[in-house]
Every structure is written in C-alpha cells, then in structure tokens.
Amino acid sequence: MKPIVIKFGGSNLKDKSDLSKILNVVRMYDKPLVVVVSAANGVTNKLIQAVSDIRNLEIERFLAEIYSVYKSFIDEEDLELKERVYQIRETLLGAKLIGRVPDFVYDQIVSHGERCSSLFLKNYLRNCGFECEEALPENFGLITDGRFKNASVDLHASEENLRKYFKSNTNYIVPGFYGVHEDHITILGRGGSDYSATSIAYCLDAERVDLYKDVSGFMTCDPKCVKGVKPVKRLNYDEAAELSYFGAKILHHATVDPIRKKKIPLYIYNINTFKSIDSPDTIISFNDSIAETIIKSISFTDDIAVIQFKGTNIGRVPGLLGQIASTFGTEGINIKSVVTSQTSINVLISKQDVERCKKITSRLQISEVEEIHYRTDISLIAAVGDGLLKKHGIAARIFSAVSRREINVEMISAGASEVTIYFIVSLQDREKALQAIHEEFFSDKL
C-alpha cells in the first residue's frame, strides 16, 4: 500500500491546543502515514540566535528555555524529551570554547528543534492511541549533496535507503528540515520541511503529499499587500515552482522538484479551517489547466539586488558573462537571473549577498568593464500562469496597468519560463504595482 506523506509546520505547533488539531487530522486517514514535522514555533529562531552569539551564550539557561517550549505543550515532565533537548549541550560547549560555530556544527544545532518535535509528537500521538514510530534522517539515510546551510537531497542515493527502512504498514513521525552527508547533518534551508516531505514521497512512491499550514494555500497575491485576493484552487508544478522561486512563502523553493519527477500530487490545507482531507485549499499536480484570466497568481520578492556591469562594448565580449558567473559561483553566490544589452550586463542576486559581491567585484580584472553599479532599493514582481506567453496581449495588459499608475518599470524578462513574466520596480512602487496588476486580472473575474 502506498503511504501518504503529511507535514505539519512550526505554525501548527504554537501551543498545546494545536495538538488536538494534529490528532484530528491524522485520525482521518485510512492509509499508512509518514508525518514530517518542523520545530515548534519560534524554536529555530532561538537556535539561530544562540549560534550567532555563541561566545555570550548561557548554555544551561538556553537549553532549559528550549525544553520549556516543548514542556508547555504537555504541562508535565518528560525525561526522554529533556534528554533529547540536552543532546546538543556538549556541541554548544565545544563551539563556545573555540569561540566560533563551524558550518557542520551550525547545521547540527539549528536542526535540533525538528528532532525534539518528532520525539515529542510521537509520544503525544501514542498516548492518544495513534500507533507510530519515530524515524530520523540520520538513521534511514536521507542523503544530501553535502552543502551546509542549504543542501539538496540526493534522491537517487536516498531512494534505496528509504525503501529498505520504512515498513509499508507502519506510521512514522519524521523530523524535517535536514538530511545527512558523510555522517554530517546538513539543513535544507529555511522552510525545508516541505522539501523533506516531497523528497520522502519521491523515495517511497507516495500516493500524495499533504501540507498543513496556517494559511489557506496559494492566493492570487499576498493578502498583506493587496486587497481583494482570491484563492487559487489548482496549480501545475511549473506554476507552483515559479511562484515559490519568486517570493511566495507558501512553499520552500525546491518543494515541487521531487514530486514532479513522479507526478505525485500535493495538497495544501489550512489546519485552522480544516474540515476534511477531501477538501484541500490548493492542489498542485501534473495538469495543464489554463485559467480564464491566464494569470493565476502574482508573486514578489524584495530580496533582490542588481549588479550592473557597464562598458561601451561589453555585450559583445566573448566569455565575459561566463567569467563573471564562474567567479560568483566559486564564491558561493547564487545568480538569480541575467539580463544583457550592448552596453551592460545586469546580474540579479540576493540582497543579502551584496556586500560579499562588492568584495568579489573589486578583485575582478576585466578591462572592458568601465563602471559597476549596485541597486538594492528595488522589488521583483512575477506574474505566473500557464499560457501567458502564448496568449496575445497578456504582457501588454500587465504593463499598461502598471503604467496607468505612473510606475516606472526598470527591467523586464519574459521567455526564461513559459509560465512567468517578471519585472523590477522601485521598492516604493511595489504595492501600487501589485494592486494595479491584480485589479486588471482578478477584479470581478473569479
């Protein structure tokens, strides 16, 4: 029997009232479950803060604080859980002694909240009569590429391990957010428990993946920025991946990759409004449904910066772009996109990488580059929907709507993906641009 993989995030573990919601959900399934769980709400942030100031960390006090977070869910002592929490004590002491936190230590500590959650949730569910076992990635072999802080799962290496470990008739509770590489724990990046769930689903040929959130799936835009947003009931894999890549915080950016390979559907539920496993808020699957509006959702990110390399004939110099990209890649800088012209090469990066890039570019010896400029006061907006590059007039409607609000578009890219058009505006114009596009495509449409 194929299992169903379900995942509960940190927003589903805010206080003890959330436990009854989780119990209610798992009892509705009549098939074996692999339950992936995140750290309790706020715990990962506490762990990150601890390692960022390791020299001044009061270790005993800190671990007591972490234990108190989990203890608040059950109102009684749990010696097994307390022992689990204190497993990182010696690691913290060692890091404090040397005054720094190596990458492999960082990943071990920051992922510790998930290991506490899986034990804690397993004990709770068992006490409520739901039979289950805990399974840790370091034991069943969820293998990664070994990149600390932002690893990718090696699906080929992991699949055989998981098939040998997991029994078909058993429910499992699994900590998300991390895997292992050569006996080292490597985390999958913030929000990585979604990615854990879909990677496990791939390895076990799961029937589907169900993600439980505290929001109602994908919307036509971020309701914090735009009025009148509507739910998005269906997305295909490409649409969901592009929305996540360009800023939608519903999914980790790599979530869709594993399930796309085996066409495993993904359902998203809001646990606070949950009624039935047959009524997901958003379904992501292998389909080519084209919405009447063509555009299904609008995403954005402010974590964007542009490095502009300028020179009279820079666009015609063979190998120049490759030299820039290679240098950045060697230094671990991710290039999000590139837009070129005769006189400039524009490289899009994360805003948090700007200072590092300034040091790197100061060492570049490229005679054709006459000036280098940085822009950080910008926002990238992406309109996503299958068919938008095939349907005449969609781009014109997008930019006409923005133009009517007297907003200047600073850079445009279309064609890199068949389901996305993205462009850059000044940060101060971001919300006006989002509202303008949303009104153009979604007012009285759905």
Q: What is the CATH number of the domain that holds 336?
A: 3.30.2130.10
Q: Which residue has the tokens 């890649």?
A: 329
Instruction: Give the per-residue pLDDT at 410.
Output: 87
Q: What is the pLDDT of residues 129-147, one digit of tens each?
A: 999 999 999 999 999 999 9
Average pLDDT over residues 168-174: 96
| pLDDT mean across residues, the chain | 93
Q: Is the pLDDT of residue 290 over 80?
A: no
| Pair 265, 359 in one domain | no
315 and 166 within one domain? no
When computed from its CA atoms, the radius of gyration of the chain, rounded to whole angstroms, is: 23
Percent of the chain residues topping a pLDDT of 70: 98
Q: Residue 363: what pLDDT?
A: 86
Q: Are 31 and 62 in contact (CB under 8 A)?
A: no
Task: Report the pLDDT averaged over residues 104-131.
Answer: 97
307 in the same domain as 175: no
Last residue of a domain, one of 261, 288, 315: 288
Mark which of 233, 264, 288 sits at the end of a domain. Answer: 288
What's the pLDDT at 444? Answer: 67
Judgement on whether residues 330 and 372 belong to the same structural domain of the protein: yes
Q: Are residues 271 and 127 in the same domain?
A: yes
Measured between alpha carbons, how far is 20 from 322 in angstroms, rounded to an integer?
54
Query: Is there a single domain that holds both residue 152 and residue 201?
Result: yes
Instruction: Classify residue 224: in a domain, yes or no.
Output: no
In a domain, residue 123? The reply is yes
Q: Are 269 and 343 in a shared domain?
A: no
If you average pLDDT over residues 337-366, what whole number do you get?
89
Q: How many domains does the chain have?
A: 2
427 and 351 share one domain: yes
> Angle at CA 355, nearest 5°, toward 248 and 243?
10
Quick one: 262 and 366 in the same domain? no
Residue 35 covered by a domain = yes
Let me know if residue 178 belongs to a domain: yes
User: Where are the extended beta strands (E) located within 251-363?
Assistant: 266-270, 282-285, 297-301, 305-310, 335-340, 344-349
**Phi, psi for 287 (deg, rounded to 5):** -150, 160
pLDDT for the residue 415: 61
Q: Is the same domain home to 270 and 315?
A: no
Instruction: With respect to residue 225, please indicate whether it lies within any of the assigned structural domains.
Output: no
Last residue of a domain, one of 262, 288, 314: 288
Length of the chain: 446
C-alpha–C-alpha distance, residues 314 and 332, integer Å: 24
For residues 263 and 337, membership in a common domain is answered with no
Residue pair 285/267 in contact (Cβ under 8 Å)? The answer is no
pLDDT of residue 445: 47
Q: Give the residue numbers spanning the domain of 402.
A: 299-442
Specify the pLDDT at position 365: 79
Whether residue 102 is contained in a domain is answered as yes
Instruction: Say yes or no: 274 and 352 in one domain.
Output: no
Q: Would you say the C-alpha torsion 428, 431, 436, 437 has a positive or negative sign?
A: positive
In a domain, 275, yes or no: yes
Question: With 80 as the cut, is the pLDDT of residue 414 above it?
Answer: no
Does 431 fall in a domain? yes
